[in-house]
Chains A and B, each alone.
Chain A
Amino acid sequence: MSFDDAYQALTDHDDDARWAYGTGFADPLAGVPTALPDGVDHADLAAYCLMIGDDALIMSHRLQQWVTRAPELEDEMAIANIGLDLLGQARLLLTRAGEAEGGGRGEDDLAYLRDPQDFRHVRLAERADADFAHLVARLLVFATWRLALLDRLSASGDPVLAAIGAKGVKEVAYHRDYAAGWVVRLGDGTELSHRRMQAAVDAVWPLIGELFEAHPVELRLVGVAVDPSLLRAEFDGVLAEVLRVATLHAPGPGAGPGPSSAGDSSAGDGSAGDGPVRGRDGFHTDELGEILDEMQGLARATPGGVW
């Protein structure tokens, strides 16, 4: 059932193919019943879909930057696959955000035409990795948190979010196991790998607190969104277990066994503001600008471009 001409196959069935936008694909929710649930504020639902969609989109982009730079071919494949899973989740969630918003914006508009302050991901997702240990530390934290989140999202009152959550659990469980495997391998490895893995855990630690701060949108969407503060116990348990097996320790006063001393989310960024500074409100580091330059450059230079 394949096409006679591969290039024709890519464009043939979709008159709206816009390859400068990197897709040419159908709307990922094509054919999915997408009625909005009753009694849910549409603007809040759109904002929430953007939050957890941007988490996946930006993390996926950071993972893609590792392709061709990973230590082994198998890890290139793993990182690319994890990035692809997250990109798939992002496409569904951004499309859902556009539907809830009701303004006609699709996934491409939201991914390629928003400015940095309009992105709503947690800042953990955008950080550049200094080395492979930093990547696996960041991925362990991200996947552990997201797995707990998606698991609860599978009971959401929005059937589309519930389906995305249930599907994502199966995927992110593999992501977490992959990252945990490397944290253990490096932490419980040589003296050098142990030292560098511990340094990576120390570096990612200040970004953890933000993951569990409930945003007003998340609190208003009772029964639809997940209150992230409820994820902390599961997260702490998993992290403590991985660190124990990896012979690593959680940083902080007294280097206690659990990550409960994560501190405030703005630590490490030199933020000077009084209130919490967090990605969910559009406050990002300069590193997001670098990501968007790369991710959006072509689409913005050739709006609606096709080749």
Chain B
Amino acid sequence: MTAPATVTAAQVAAGVTDPELPFLTLAELGILREVRETGDGVEVTITPTYSGCPAMDAIRADLLRALHRAGFERAQVRTLLAPAWTTDWISEEGRAKLAAAGIAPPGPAPRRAAGGPVPLTLGIRDEPVDCPLCGAGETERLAAFGATACRELRRCRACREPFEHVKEI
């Protein structure tokens, strides 16, 4: 009702940050799929990163809160399950911010031959990941699962520092 004409609902939603990566916006992370202003209010569409991602409820609440604060009182959040989120949707800006925060951004998501089964990777599926701290290309995986579902733990062989890497999915 009191929305300043200069701020659109899309701008408000795009500025909401991820609860677990607070330097990244939902738009940069690629989980904000659509913002529509209809006669009925604002409808925001998001896509979960992982099935069990515990941040989804916080994200929904944060979106509604931000929209309410900006004057969009009638807003709802729609969840889109398909197509499934992929790290390829993280924007260039988002990747730069991840690296600046010491988290190696993902490479291209794995693709597989149409029709074939998901290939088994025994041990080595180590695409090169550059160290976000010193820039060296020689890094190794310490653990395939990290502090959140979307990250793994790696270590740089040059500067010996451990760091996180957003897994390609």
Are the CB atoms of B122 and A151 closer together than 8 Å?
A: no
Which of A92, A173, A184 is within 8 Å of B122, CB to CB?
Answer: A184
Q: Mark B113-148, 1 if CB is under 8 A from A, else 0.
A: 000011011110100000000000000001111110
How distant is the Cα of A28 from the Cα of B51 in the complex, in angstroms?
A: 9
Complex interface: chain A residues within 8 A of B4 (CB): none
How distant is the Cα of A12 from the Cα of B65 in the complex, in angstroms?
A: 11
Q: Mark A219-240, 1 if CB is under 8 A from B, else 0.
A: 0000000000000001001100
In the complex, how many angstroms separate the beta carbon of A113 from the nearest chain B beta carbon? 22
State which size class the interface on B falls in: 35 or more
Are the CB atoms of A163 and B122 closer together than 8 Å?
A: no
Q: Please count how many residues in chain A sit with their CB below 8 Å of the partner chain's CB atoms.
A: 57
CB within 8 Å for A166 and B54 given contacts A178-B145, A180-B120: no
Q: Is B158 an interface residue (CB 8 A)?
A: no
In the complex, how many angstroms separate the beta carbon of B12 from the nearest chain A beta carbon? 10
Complex interface: chain B residues within 8 A of A266 (CB): none
Complex interface: chain A residues within 8 A of B143 (CB): 74-75, 77-78
Helix, strand, loop or mixed for chain A's interface?
Answer: helix
How distant is the Cα of A181 from the Cα of B22 in the complex, in angstroms?
A: 33
In the complex, how many angstroms separate the beta carbon of A172 from the nearest chain B beta carbon? 8
Q: Is B157 an interface residue (CB 8 A)?
A: no
Which of A78, A86, A151, A173 is within 8 Å of B145, CB to CB?
Answer: A78
Are the CB atoms of A74 and B142 closer together than 8 Å?
A: yes
Q: Is A282 an interface residue (CB 8 A)?
A: no
Are the CB atoms of B145 and A77 closer together than 8 Å?
A: yes
CB within 8 Å for A13 and B61 given contacts A1-B16, A84-B149, A177-B120: yes
Q: Mark B85-110, 1 if CB is under 8 A from A, else 0.
A: 11000000000000000000000000
CB within 8 Å for A151 and B149 given contacts A1-B16, A84-B54: no
CB within 8 Å for A9 and B142 given contacts A2-B19, A85-B149: no
Q: Is A201 an interface residue (CB 8 A)?
A: no
Complex interface: chain B residues within 8 A of A3 (CB): 61
Known: A13-B57, A85-B51, A180-B122. 12 other contacts (CB 8 A): A26-B57, A26-B60, A28-B56, A29-B79, A81-B146, A84-B50, A84-B54, A92-B81, A163-B82, A176-B120, A177-B121, A178-B145
Sort A-B residue pairs by CB-CB distance and give the 4 closest, nearest first.
A88-B52, A88-B51, A163-B81, A74-B143
**7 pairs, A vs B, C-beta closer than 8 Å:** A74-B143, A85-B50, A92-B81, A159-B82, A166-B83, A181-B144, A184-B123
